[in-house]
Amino acid sequence: MSHDKNKKMTEQKFDFGIIGLGTMGRNLVFNMNDHGYNVIGFDKNNSQVELLNKEAGDPTIRGTSKLKEFVNGLKKPRVILLLVPAGKVVDEVINELKPVLSENDLLMDCGNSHFTDTNERIDELAKSKIHFMGVGISGGESGARYGPSIMPGGAKSVYERVSTMLESISAKVNNEPCVTWLGPGSTGHYVKMVHNGIEYGLMQLIAETYHLLKKAGGFNNDELHKIYSIWNEGIVQSFLIEITADIFKQNDELTKNRLIDMILDSAQQKGTGGWTSEDGMKLQVPLPVIDIAVSMRDLSVYKIERQAAELKLTNEEIKFSGNKNELVGWLEQALYFSMITTYAQGMELLNRASQAYKYDLKLADIAKIWRGGCIIRSFLLEDIGLAFTQQPNLSNLLLSDLFSTKLIHSQIGIRKVIQIGVETGIPLPAMMGSLAYYDSYCSGWLPANLIQAQRDYFGAHTYKRNDKEGVFHTHWNQRK
């Protein structure tokens, strides 16, 4: 290569920069480049830089491990996307960048940062007149490469600087981009957190259908592949059902068995589901399916204890003795019912958070951008978006004109399935939580009056009456 060509490449200014060239970051580089943007990437790991440059083979993409070269290679005002692990790594990167950035430069945190951290970073960087956005991205490595669902938050004027780029690289449904400005501050990361909470819930529900089909129904992997493939053409169509069907066909290269049977039944997590549960409790929004999904991942880790308990405490395994086709049909209805209630819980949390944190969220817009690219995309989201479009002030999806009839009809299936689970000793905690949530939400009276009486009895916490206004306390006939 000539000296002049080397100099020209060195002087080239790039449209966008990406810090973190792991699978997600590298795929995002290529996605952006496919849409006409020159992109420079930075990573301290030389092997990641070399991999990018080798795969690119194009001067419109460059990887470097030199921060100065990275920053100087960007057009001003600079736009830098961070694809690094959430937590202290984000702060470390920001602290390294601050001395070499200029006013009006923009940092976009595209990781799973906690929304409160995002608020703090926005305020801190504003002191240096540097803009900061929290941007949720869902879709995994394939989404990053070919079109994710993107959930941006921050100042609207700042979003408008990058809206064209984000729309171009996002997933499309009916030619509509799966991205829109969601609101100020940490809105984007909050919405992504709730997305992940819903994801936890849906995955647990699907796992419970697998448990019942495998252990009580005795279905083998080929039969399971067929069941989930058929389901994916019906009312529970979704990305998660699609990949579940695929999983049952995958062979293990080492043993030639089906890979699913060789994977340890211990589920890991990165914390976003727990964050969702935690904020739901803070805002007093019931999220039983999500809460249970987090707890079941926790319980799955106790493998040795579970094996010991199985030997000591359980009775002989009981198989389902009824019509297996009916079981599959009831399970599909049960999954449909519980998927609706899971989305409903997530949407209610977004609604309450919008008020508490002044996000001014448009739930119809959120459902719309979740239709493509993201992990929780499903047939249901079309109707969810329509429900919130038709009833913008809808307090809970269960009350929507679109879903109330669907829930009434499909509850037959979930009640049958839970009965079978109890009879065969197959735990279905998320489905039980889904039905209990529905039954409780539909109860004009709940026994909470007894709880409040107990609180007043032992702690003088007072209570309200149902026949007059005011707050009351009783000196109960306490036992001596």
Residue bearing tokens 């803009």: 131
CA dist 330 and 12 (Å) reads 61
Is 312 in the active site? no
Buried b (16+ CB within 10 A) or exposed e, 299-323: bbeeeeeeeeeeeeeeeeeeebeee
- Strand 176-177 versus strand 172-173 pairing type: antiparallel
Q: Is 168 marked within a binding site?
A: no
Residue pair 80/18 in contact (Cβ under 8 Å)? The answer is yes
- Estimate to the nearest angstrom the gap between the alpha carbon of 69 and the chain centroid: 35
With H, G, I as helix, E, B as strand and everything else as coil, classify residue 154.
coil
Q: Is 112 marked within a binding site?
A: yes
Q: Is 455 marked within a binding site?
A: yes
399: DSSP letter: G
CA-based nearest residue to 111, from 22, 202, 200, 36: 22
Q: Given 54, 127, 192, 316, which residue is catalytic? A: 192
Q: Is 195 marked within a binding site?
A: yes
Q: Given 120, 199, 316, 319, which residue is catalytic? A: 199
Q: Is 114 marked within a binding site?
A: no
Q: Is 62 marked within a binding site?
A: no
Q: Is 140 marked within a binding site?
A: yes
Give the DSSP H or E segment for 40.
strand 39-42
- Strand 16-19 versus strand 79-82 pairing type: parallel
CA dist 317 and 110 (Å) reads 47
109: DSSP letter: E
Is 141 in the active site? no
Q: CB under 8 Å to 200, separation ≥6 — which residues?
A: 269, 272, 273, 276, 290, 293, 294, 297
Residue bearing tokens 């409040």: 452
Q: Is 465 marked within a binding site?
A: no
* Ramachandran category for residue 401: left, alpha or beta (phi over 0 → left; psi -120 to 50 → alpha): alpha
CA dist 403 and 347 (Å) reads 14
Residue bearing tokens 């519980």: 338
Q: Is 461 marked within a binding site?
A: yes
Give the N- to C-terminal CA distance of the chain in Å, as an integer: 95
The token pair that represents 366 in the structure block: 């959120």
Q: Is 200 marked within a binding site?
A: yes
Helix axis angle for 272-282 and 324-356, nearest 10°, is 60
**H-helix segments, 233-302:** 239-247, 272-282, 288-300
Residue bearing tokens 């089909």: 213
CA dist 368 and 322 (Å) reads 41
Active-site residue list? 192, 199
Positions at the binding site: 112, 138-140, 195-196, 200, 270, 297, 455, 461
- Please give the annotated binding residues for substrate, written as ranges: 112, 138-140, 195-196, 200, 270, 297, 455, 461
